[in-house]
Amino acid sequence: MTDPYASTQDTTGGPVFTVTGQDWDSVVKGIDLGEERIVVNMGPQHPSTHGVLRLILELDGEQVTEARCGIGYLHTGIEKNMEFRNWTQGVTFCTRMDYLSPLYNEAAYVMGVEKLLGITDDITEKARVMRVLLMEINRISSHLVAIATGGMELGALTVMTIGFRERELCLDVLELITGLRMNHAFFRPGGVAQDLPDGSIEEVRDFVKLMKKRLPEYADLCNQNPIFKGRLVDVGYLDLAGCLALGLTGPPLRATGYDWDLRRDMPYWGYDEFDFDVVTWDTSDSYGRFRIRLEEMWQSLRIIEQALDRLEGLEGAPVMIGDKKIAWPAQLAIGADGMGNSLEHIRHIMGESMEALIHHFKLVTEGFRVPAGQAYGSVESPRGELSCHVVSDGGTRPFRAHFRDPSFVNLQGTSVMSEGGMVADVIVAVASIDPVMGGVDR
């Protein structure tokens, strides 16, 4: 009796075999395949594709002759939705794009809005330093996931377990300061949502001390591990010319030896006042991208320590621009019921000043107006150059907000990195790119 689930059918592309777990030899027994190609769908549910990514692979035996990405399975319409919310509410949408580095999505968007408002130079020092602090903590948590999931896909489960163990420490610190583990909506046009909670600087210092003890474990497990190096060295090769032709940024670009980093080369929010190194490698392969992420976490710890030193001297300083026409929401506080306006502010607007209540109501429901024009904000995210192009028609909502997500651009390297290699190496190449499909599809 023939297997009804392993039958053939004629299509314009030749016979198609639907296989549900049998051995390939039993499926094609007695069938002359000749020189015909085999096309394999990897995904979109495959656990090794960093989300709902579909890879269409054309194989010759186990060698990949052609690789194409199929995207769009996680499309959420975030950019379009932002056109129907006011400028401040836009932060709560864009933070959900690249869900492993949400603060960078907010940063690029807020930077563009502040350029349109003409208040870039008016952002308080404390707000700028807090943004840098939070972004570098977020960079560490993102790189930890990249290394952890990459290790899992290679079979190095210990790397995965300790990677997520350390990521929990990062998320605990982010929750302490912003009130949320992910999707923070903490960066606002004009500053940040609220001041540092009491005791948070000491908590972050303890986090830095612990990370300095934990990070060497990754080097001990992976750096000179012959099995790990055997899977990564010379796999997923893409040189500088290829990166420049395709627009790849971040670790794939720096792994070619090219030291491009927006934090140093196009500094924003005072990054030029911090002492850190731009990490490069010279192998243009997956191993180099791994080593760059490992070393960048050390550089982030350096920046975090400098930010903490500066914040200690800024106690009580404002974290939001002084213009009350823009500074919304006012005087947030974290209480037992989550995040909301402080009791002092509620007493003021509800019992002392009718004008303040009216202003608060209009600011929250309608939002502030942004002068007509367009602006472009760029930040160095864990995956590369993340940018936002915002357009205003002079109203209270974005006319258009479009993001240049590094995961989307860097995925172009998949075919070049994979073709000519083995099927197993496709997983390594994609893991070394570290794409996040929420950022790709938006």
Is 278 part of a structural domain of the chain?
Answer: yes
- Is residue 200 situated within a structural domain? yes
Residue after which a domain boundary falls, among 25, 42, 70: 70
Q: Could you tell me the two tokens for 53? A: 């990514």
Same-domain status, 24 and 137: no
d(CA 105, CA 119): 19
Give a yes or no: residue 340 inside a domain.
no
Are both 149 and 270 inside the same structural domain?
yes
Which CATH number characterizes residue 396's domain?
1.10.645.10
Question: Is residue 36 over pLDDT 70?
Answer: no
Same-domain check for residues 215 and 243:
yes
Q: Are residues 38 and 94 in the same domain?
A: no
Q: Are residues 316 and 384 in the same domain?
A: yes
Whole-prediction pTM value? 0.86
Distance CA 317, CA 9 (A): 71
| pLDDT at 207 (0 to 100) | 92
Residue 342 lies in a domain: no
Q: What range does the domain containing 390 cover?
A: 78-328+367-441
Nearest CA-CA partner of 167 in 145, 182, 189: 145
Q: How far apart are CA 199 and CA 432, in angstroms?
A: 37
60 has a pLDDT exceeding 90: no
Distance CA 222, CA 226 (A): 8
Q: Check whether residue 141 and residue 213 sit in a common domain.
A: yes
| Nearest Cα residue to 416 out of 188, 158, 238 | 238
For residue 186, being part of any structural domain is answered with yes
Q: Is the pLDDT of residue 39 over 90?
A: no
In a domain, 353, yes or no: no
Give the model confidence (pLDDT) of 310-340 as tens digits: 998 888 888 888 877 787 655 565 555 555 6
For residue 275, being part of any structural domain is answered with yes
Query: Structurally, how many domains does the chain consist of?
Result: 2
Q: Does 29 have pLDDT greater than 70?
A: no
Domain limit, last residue, from 13, 39, 70: 70
Same domain assignment for residues 43 and 92: no
* pLDDT score for 391: 94
Same domain, 129 and 173: yes
* Of the residues 25, 45, 70, the one at which a domain ends: 70
Q: Check residues 81 and 159 and name the one with the higher pLDDT.
A: 81
The pLDDT of residue 197 is above 70: yes
Q: Which residue has the higher pLDDT, 339 or 50?
A: 50
- What is the percent of the chain where pLDDT is above 70? 87
DSSP-derived 3-state class of residue 75: coil
Question: Does 341 score more than 80 pLDDT?
Answer: no
What pLDDT does 333 receive? Answer: 58
Do 185 and 259 sit in the same domain of this protein?
A: yes
